[in-house]
Amino acid sequence: MTDKSPPAGKPIRTAITSEDGIDFAIIELFFFAYRDFTSDPDQILADYGFGRAHHRVLHFVNRRPGLTVAELLDVLKITKQSLARVLKQLIDTDHVVQLQGPRDRRQRELYPTAKGRALALALARPQSRRIRAALEDCGAAERTLVERFLEAMVNPELRAQIDVGSGKMSGKSHGEH
Amino acid sequence: MTDKSPPAGKPIRTAITSEDGIDFAIIELFFFAYRDFTSDPDQILADYGFGRAHHRVLHFVNRRPGLTVAELLDVLKITKQSLARVLKQLIDTDHVVQLQGPRDRRQRELYPTAKGRALALALARPQSRRIRAALEDCGAAERTLVERFLEAMVNPELRAQIDVGSGKMSGKSHGEH
DNA sequence: GAAATTACGTCAATAGTACTGACATAATCT
DNA sequence: AGATTATGTCAGTACTATTGACGTAATTTC
């Protein structure tokens, strides 16, 4: 009577393909590519007792020195509480420092220290190496195209804060190519 | 004396750039692109009380019906214990069924049910739509190139289990690799 | 046939990242 | 003065992942 298994449980033996015009190839590749892409820094981070969240914070603090906590939350799209622990650890270990905002003293501007800059570079190096190798594998001329594809994968509303390529990074300093 | 802050803490005010030949643009784009790419299915999964792990299991069970638990662990690169809860939930909710292996009765071959197939498609649909849109944005002809780039981003040792493109997917039973 | 190995399941304990909601403080704006 | 903003913090929870250990059934090996 009270079967635990409802009648529906018949196994489907055929693989899902592109039947419904679904691009499983790229879906799957994206999964594998991102996993391996993050595995490089993950190994380094483990030595510091850090995780991927630390990497992201460190990355953006180095990319946009002086950004505020609120701006960082907006870029990462996480909550204050999620950031709190990670940021505190980075500050305690002297990778990041907080400076009181000049205009608004409530704000905390975040800056990397030399130590934080060095770690950010160390984490980015293997990722950049992987990217360079991949671009070479598929004809290096296509760099721009890959960039455009990835940018187009991002939600349109968010593309503003990406400021890719052109080096219009964070305003201030910049200028580089 | 016993300062809590070591001398090192001076803020660096200049943004990290391509100084060390590091490809920050693509590193960052990859982060944003993957985050938005996974956010689509995440919303659907929430309705089922499922997470991203359920999606991955469901995806590969649909892509390679009949794969064993050990094979799934190998593809996902997670531990048995991480898989256990997720797989159990998918089985309990009748998205996946286990069949005793024909050759080796210790093995459990995993198959999607109609329900599991439907959910896998529902999850993949917005992702595929996003990919299609992105490819159009950057000149659709470049599909192959994006595929090759992503594949090149994957660790070489793992490319075997990817069998991209051509739909030579799983070849169902067949002689494994 | 007995022993070792394999495939799977499960239990216990822990960690990292995320969430919601609430509350406190200081600074700025109206 | 009062409202709002920027930040910090506390409590509680959820999901995904880890390592290590143990058990059972099936297969392989000797």
* Domains of chain B and any CATH numbers: 39-153 (1.10.10.10)
Whole-number pLDDT of residue B170: 37
B88 touches strand D (CB under 7 A): no
Residue B162, token pair as written in the block: 């990817």
Contact: A124, B22; criterion CB under 8 Å: yes
Low-confidence ranges of chain A (pLDDT < 50): 1-5, 164-177
In a mutagenesis test of the A interface, which of B154, B173, B174 is the best target, namely the one with the most A β-carbons within 10 Å? Answer: B154
Whole-number pLDDT of residue B163: 65
| Strand C: residues with CB below 7 A | A 49-54, 56, 77-82, 85-86, 104-106; B 68-70, 80-81, 84, 87-88, 98, 101, 104, 106-108
Contact A124, B27 (CB under 8 A): yes
Whole-number pLDDT of residue B8: 52
Whole-number pLDDT of residue A86: 96
Q: What is the mean pLDDT of each run of 10 residues along chain B (177 residues)?
A: 55 88 94 95 93 96 96 95 95 96 94 96 96 86 89 89 51 34
CA distance B89 to A77: 29
CA distance A116 to A63: 12
Contact: B131, A153; criterion CB under 8 Å: yes
Sheet strands (E) in chain B: 67-68, 96-100, 108-112
Which of A94, A130, A167 lies nearest to residue B17, judging by beta carbons?
A167
Whole-number pLDDT of residue A172: 36
Angle between helices A143-153 and B114-137 (to 10 degrees): 130
Q: Distance of alpha carbon B42 from its chain centroid, rounded?
A: 12
Whole-number pLDDT of residue A17: 85
Q: How far is CA A163 from CA A64, A72, A115, B15, B38, in A?
A: 11, 15, 26, 13, 22
A87 touches strand D (CB under 7 A): yes
Contact A153, B36 (CB under 8 A): yes
Contact B158, B176 (CB under 8 A): no
